[in-house]
Amino acid sequence: MSRAETLCEVCGARPARYVCRNCGARVCRYCIDLSTWMCVRCSEKFGPDFLPEVGDFMASEAMKLLIIGVVLTFVGFILMAVASLLVGGSAGGVVLIGPFPIIFGSGGALPALLLVLVLVVFVAMFLLPFLLTWLRGE
Ligand SMILES: [Zn+2]
Ligand SMILES: [Zn+2]
């Protein structure tokens, strides 16, 4: 009885179908962890939480979103500071209640315009991470 197929290097019982990305061992589908693409021997060595490259990629994506959020927050605060200066100390100011900025003033078009600007920035800040996630097709 000839054996054309290579047997799994871990269990030695079933035909090898996969190659461990860490040690290069040829293993069967029961002896590979498809979430890490490593044989069970390497999975045990590194632990179940070991996710090479994928984890780093997610971390960098999260970092990018964090930086975008910080920048947008900064822009929002600049807009609010400008609004406070333009409206004037006696006429009004900017109050932050939670994440929602509220501009109170003596009326007129300018405070309303600035209010819209600040709201747009804050809405963008909150929606952008979801939008980017959606655009990546997840
Ligand atoms: Zn096996
Ligand atoms: Zn391995």
> What pLDDT score does 21 carry?
92
Interval 34-68: pLDDT, tens:
888 899 998 888 765 555 555 565 566 777 777 77
Q: Where are the domains of the chain?
A: 1-52, 54-135
Q: Which ligand is nearest to the CA of 36?
A: 2
Q: Which helix (H) or strand (E) is 19 found in, with range? A: strand 18-19
Interval 64-113: pLDDT, tens:
777 777 787 777 777 777 766 666 554 455 555 555 555 555 555 666 67
Q: Which ligand is nearest to the CA of 24?
A: 2
Taking the centre of ligand 2 as the mean of its atom positions, its distance from the CA of residue 46, in whole angstroms, is 10
Taking the centre of ligand 1 as the mean of its atom positions, its distance from the CA of residue 24, in whole angstroms, is 14
Q: Which ligand is nearest to the CA of 11?
A: 1
**Range 18-23 average pLDDT:** 93
Residue type, 14: R
Structure tokens at 70: 């910080």
pTM: 0.34
